[in-house]
Structure 1
């Protein structure tokens, strides 16, 4: 912690540029989007307050357009659901283990002082599933343990998910979900996204999400009605100089009406009301969202759902102007043939910025992730990915854009054993507000990652 102590003792604030400078660290105030790194080694933007249950539960939590701005070296691969399972009475237990070795040419995402290094990542997965006629229970754990050539980058991440789906009758269904994550934000992401320099530690964050939804209407009924509630909290446990006031909790009730247009297609309308309570009272706000969209059943080649709408954010403090924004949530999968799959995830959302700079308000975040998974034979698979992230922030803070591309090659040696290699490239550019002088050196960077992995199942 010597670097952090020295930084705190030598801080100098430049109010014109929104940059805090220390002897060997620079913090540029800006968005504090709440990112977490989950078990898939993919740094993700946790758009808290969205629906946590229903058909978009998994896509919402799995959307990642930041996969190349964080670890960048973990691409989509065979999921734990594809592994063989062990019967435990009337239940099933499915384990899997993946180990990656990666080489990174810019560990700290610092364009001014690039440091190369390597890491070993160990990623266990375990899923328990019980299906009865009217009740389905799922419990899953995934972890990631990273050991880097630079000790300050080591981390251990944990993700626990519990889900229950009960059919109360042919027309009534109850869905509940509880999720807990304990993760470390990699340097150059999350709360440390605007820091130029090397920290002795990483920001540690605990996230709890819970939700319940009641649906009325048979699967083939003309109309369905759903009502539910999502709630949760985000808590940072260290590095208070970067995270002070950022802890928050939220509660978001919602209602959805859907109308069946065809056996595979439903059009929907949704209303949400969210309440966000930050430790820093200046960021407290209420939100009202109106959305419309479509849901596509998984029985067709094109599945998933897409929503677009308007969000109105009302801040508790009179000094903060209310904000209206266009929002979108898209999670689509296209499988023209059984051995090839395309997926597209888009998320446009409103986030709250750090209030450390005068007039720093909200951020409009646009995230896009495109994946193509193709099985060329029963043994050989490729996964190609493209990502784009745009942070449009109120002045005087800067905007930035991040683009990434990655490719993974997998070879199935045995039914239970897979090996592969991967590579990824990511670039970030920064755009300053007109008339505001910001030294972008260090904030803009390029990062390349290459790796090899092995994955074992039963």
Structure 2
């Protein structure tokens, strides 16, 4: 099974304030007993020129293309009281691949999102979810079984904030949990060696040095373990110091310098140190145009190959520009770049990996509750082996999707 490692701090755009340019600004929700109900239906047709993300010569899955059909219904139930809100979302997505029907799958699940403001000094945010998911682009057994690997996913996150946002000092305490339990595979019904759990926890202390600027100090720990693989996991402890600012009404951002320590489950492997950073900047030059930039240098919290306890570490950057050309037409342009080293448990580099992804999209709000979108994504993945035993997994992929979202 092919798994593309990603930096676990999750290159996200941005921040402690939320700016957004929504394609469906008034989705046509209705109220029922004090609860806002928002049913949505999204459907699309597109083309994928490399369904299995495969570029190796001689592989039967190399550059297999397909017409892709998607149907994604969802419903959100949301109640609000002052600054607090409580939301339950149930959703699903079915994807079918013309000519590669063995890879068809249906995801579904539910998520709970709670934000409660006890008072100006105490606030709590809790999110949780459960669903049946699939690894699109991976296969259970290459060309012998092209089914997308299925797993149950359980996740939860909590953040407790103490201290008013306007106060000189405040603290956020946070934790998260994510588990993937793959289906039993093979004729013998063996448990998948990919079953894993991620756990994280930490705290951030903010101290205001100027009206719109805070110094921050953060400590956090992330842990990876595999249910059916001994000595495959590791944990990462990070210590960060930086700034969190809102320089003007148009700009918000943070920058953190990090010292990281990785400890392997393999007892004979010494602890490793690594310097890094986390950066996020959001800039709104005009009210209808949003630019977001994020970057980081970190360990990836997912093993390249659990059986060999390998891991990744490297650099990641994302740039995105979203612009409202009119009240009905919005465009989105993005670029992401990842430069990782894949290393074994003893920190010996096995191969270098670079991934570049371009994306572009255009949305048209045809009616109040109907938006039509056209999206394109191009990915190029290059790997260079540093030892004879490493396999180079290169590929390029273009994917197009024409979709319509209807607020029912």
Q: TM-score, normalised by structure 1?
A: 0.75
Query: For 2:249, what is the secondary structure of its paired residue?
Result: coil
Contact 1:423 1:449 (8 Å CA) reproduced: yes
Match of 2:305 among 354, 359, 362: 354
* 1:47-86 matches, cutoff 5 A: 47=8, 78=22, 83-86=27-30
Contact 2:24 2:370 (8 Å CA) reproduced: no
Match of 2:67 among 118, 122, 135: 118
Match of 1:345 among 274, 288, 294: 294
Contact 2:328 2:364 (8 Å CA) reproduced: yes
Greater fraction of residues in strand? 2
1:306-325: per-residue Cα shift (whole Å, max 9, x none)?
Answer: 43312212223322332222
Quick check: 1:457 aligned with 2:407?
A: yes
Q: Which moved more, 1:334-343 or 1:85-94?
A: 85-94
Aligned residue for 2:209? 261
Q: Distance in 2 between matches of 1:148 and 1:284?
A: 35
Match of 1:410 among 363, 371, 374: 363
Q: RMSD in angstroms over aligned alpha carbons?
A: 3.4
Query: What displacement does 1:185 show?
Result: 0.7
Q: TM-score, normalised by structure 2?
A: 0.83
Quick check: 1:207 aligned with 2:158?
A: no
| Residues 409, 199 of structure 1: alpha-carbon distance in 2 compared, 3 angstrom cutoff | same
Quick check: 1:165 aligned with 2:126?
A: no
Q: Distance in 1 between matches of 2:69 and 2:37?
A: 26
Contact 2:23 2:371 (8 Å CA) reproduced: no
Query: What displacement does 1:388 show?
Result: 1.6
Greater fraction of residues in helix? 1
Quick check: 1:235 aligned with 2:181?
A: yes
| Residues 369, 242 of structure 1: alpha-carbon distance in 2 compared, 3 angstrom cutoff | farther
Query: For 2:307, what is the secondary structure of its paired residue?
Result: coil
Query: What displacement does 1:217 show?
Result: 1.0
Which segments of 5 or more consecutive residues in structure 1 lack a partner in the other structure? 1-26, 34-44, 60-75
Q: Distance in 2 between matches of 1:126 and 1:77?
A: 21
| Residues 287, 384 of structure 1: alpha-carbon distance in 2 compared, 3 angstrom cutoff | closer
Contact 1:108 1:198 (8 Å CA) reproduced: no
Q: Distance in 2 between matches of 1:225 and 1:83?
A: 36
Query: What displacement does 1:224 show?
Result: 0.3
Quick check: 1:147 aligned with 2:147?
A: no
Match of 1:102 among 37, 46, 56: 46
Quick check: 1:225 aligned with 2:171?
A: yes
Match of 1:420 among 353, 366, 373: 373
Which segments of 5 or more consecutive residues in structure 2 lack a partner in the other structure? none
| Residues 260, 396 of structure 1: alpha-carbon distance in 2 compared, 3 angstrom cutoff | closer
Aligned residue for 1:8? none
| Residues 127, 294 of structure 1: alpha-carbon distance in 2 compared, 3 angstrom cutoff | farther
Q: Which moved more, 1:234-243 or 1:399-408?
A: 234-243
Alignment: residue pair count: 391
